[in-house]
C-alpha cells in the first residue's frame, strides 16, 4: 500500500533509526494482509479454513487481533504467534520466522497448509503459502 507509506516507516533521529507508526496501523495492516492472503489462497483454490497453521508477524496485540478479525483466522490457530509475541515481542518483519519455528516445535503434520504473513515499512504486506512435507 504505497499510498500509506508514511503509516509505518523508519525515521532518523540523532543518528538512530526509530519506527514511526500511525495510530490507524491495525486497520491498515489488516486490510493489506487480507488482500495478500486472498491472493495466495486463491492461487490454490483454498479458503481460510483450509489453512491449519498461521505464522503471523507479531506486530503487537492490536495488529494480531485486527488481522485475525479481518481474515477470519480462528484464535486457536494463532497460538504460535501469541507465544512468540509474549516471549520476544515484535522484532520487526523477521519475527515471522520465529513464529514458524514455534509452529514446527508444536508440530506440523505432512500435507498441512501454512501461511506466513509479515508486514514492513512502506506499509507492505507479504504472504507465503506452503504445504508441509
Q: What is the DSSP letter of 126?
A: E
- Cα angle 17, 19, 25 (rounded to 5 degrees) comes to 165
Q: Tell me how many domains the chain contains.
A: 1
- Per-residue pLDDT in tens (0 to 9) along the chain, 133 residues: 555 555 565 667 888 876 666 567 788 889 989 999 999 999 999 999 999 999 999 888 999 999 999 999 999 999 999 999 999 988 877 899 999 999 999 999 999 999 999 987 667 789 999 998 8
Full-model pTM: 0.83
Q: Which helix (H) or strand (E) holds 116?
A: strand 113-120
Which residues are paired to 9 by β-bridges? 20
**Coil/strand/helix, residue 11:** strand
Q: What is the CATH number of the domain that holds 35?
A: 3.40.47.10
Instruction: Name the residue range of residue 70's domain.
Output: 2-131
Amino acid at each position: 500500500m504505497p499510498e500509506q507509506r508514511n503509516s509505518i516507516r523508519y525515521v532518523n533521529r540523532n543518528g538512530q533509526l526509530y519506527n514511526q507508526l500511525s495510530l490507524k496501523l491495525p486497520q491498515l495492516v489488516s486490510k493489506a494482509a487480507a488482500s495478500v492472503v486472498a491472493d495466495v489462497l486463491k492461487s490454490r483454490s483454498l479458503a481460510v479454513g483450509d489453512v491449519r497453521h498461521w505464522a503471523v508477524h507479531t506486530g503487537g496485540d492490536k495488529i494480531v487481533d485486527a488481522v485475525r478479525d479481518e481474515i477470519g483466522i480462528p484464535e486457536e490457530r494463532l497460538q504460535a504467534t501469541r507465544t512468540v509475541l509474549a516471549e520476544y515481542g515484535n522484532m520487526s518483519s523477521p519475527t515471522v520466522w520465529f513464529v514458524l519455528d514455534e509452529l514446527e516445535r508444536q508440530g506440523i503434520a505432512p500435507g498441512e497448509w501454512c501461511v506466513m504473513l509479515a508486514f514492513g515499512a512502506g506499509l507492505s504486506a507479504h504472504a507465503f503459502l506452503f504445504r508441509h512435507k
